[in-house]
Structure 1
Amino acid sequence: MKELRILVAYDASQSARDALTYCRELVELIADKCGGKYTILVLTIEQLPACSLFSSMGAWKEQCAKAHKKQLLVHEQIVDEVKQSGLDPSCITNKFVTLDERDEPLEDSERKRLIAKAILKELKQGHYNTLVIGRRGVTRSDAYLFGSVSQYLLQEAKKCVIWLLCR
């Protein structure tokens, strides 16, 4: 059997946590069937607060630094949880990606597009055959106006299976 390579896009939302839990539980059930030939990458793309919410660039940058520390801590905690489950810890990898927008903040729709592109880049470079994402339940009109990471991934992902967990 070919190796099962799963990329879980994690953003600390409840739907992403549910998607990761589902993935972990499913792989626990089939791990012996694939002879330990699996890899799970927990990928977190840093998500900075919208600049428009702050009165000054200084306040925004300060909040970005706090958000970075918090997201990195949450990422490390969730990876530890997965490694302490019934899965082989050597088959679990992780990556935390920082989008370079601290000097020039992006609009929400552009930021979401960049997040999706970073996920797709990792999917392709790592030769992952499965993408696991959680969906927050954004309406179609909101997705059209403000962008949606999951919608962009569904449209642009190629040569992979997508597990989309909806809330």
Structure 2
Amino acid sequence: MECMKVLIAFDGSDNSFKAVEYVGEIARNCSGSEICLLYVERLPDKDLFPDDESWKNKCGDTERDIRQKLEEARDKLVDMGVPQEEISVEYFASCKSPFHDKDICSTGRSIGMDILRIREERGFGTIVIGRRGVSKAEEFLFGSVSTKVVQSAVDCTVWVVS
């Protein structure tokens, strides 16, 4: 089977793990694939914390948790038969992160648009994203990352897994 170049938009949810499994089922039968597990950092609202230290602690806890889940997702792909050298993991930090000082970072305005930008810059032909389990009312009021990706994607394939 022809190799794939797939970007998995990962947020640590059950549905993002389902997206990983879906890709693993297909990619284990391909050789020479390129699979990127991408997490776009979304920082907690600083105003919800009594001080900067509490906010930084929450940011650190969240990052450790997500990095662990990214490694679990990578291990899942490897266990399913995808060669480890075909898998990359990227933690795309927020520009406002208290821990990362990068030239290229997420502005936090639209995770969906960050995903699409990375897909285009790196030439991924397929985006795989788990549907976040929000209600129709919440999706209407606040939108969702998967909806934004589906509505704005151009010149690529988008798989939404739920």
* TM-score, reference length from structure 1: 0.80
Alpha-carbon separation, structure 1, partners of 2:59 and 2:2: 41
Q: Residue 138 of structure 1 aligns with which residue?
A: 134
Partner-residue secondary structure (3-state), 2:81? coil
2:57 is aligned with 1:66: no
Q: How many residues align?
A: 154
Confirm or deny: 8 A CA contact 2:4 2:34 kept in the other structure. yes
Of all paired residues, the percent bearing the same amino acid is 29
Q: Residue 9 of structure 2 aligns with which residue?
A: 9
Q: Note closer, same or farther for the CA distance 1:102–1:42 as it changes in structure 2 (3 Å cut).
A: closer
Shift of 1:2: 6.2
Q: Residue 78 of structure 1 aligns with which residue?
A: 73
Shift of 1:71: 1.6
Matches within 5 A, 1:1-167: 3-28=3-28, 30-31=29-30, 36-102=31-97, 111=108, 113-166=109-162
RMSD: 2.2
- Show structure 2 runs of 5+ residues with no match: 99-106
Give the residue type in structure 2 aligned to 1:14: D
Confirm or deny: 8 A CA contact 2:20 2:73 kept in the other structure. no
Q: Deviations over 1:85-104 (max 9, x none)?
A: 3122222222111112247x
Alpha-carbon separation, structure 1, partners of 2:52 and 2:136: 32
Alpha-carbon separation, structure 1, partners of 2:88 and 2:53: 35
Partner-residue secondary structure (3-state), 2:110? helix
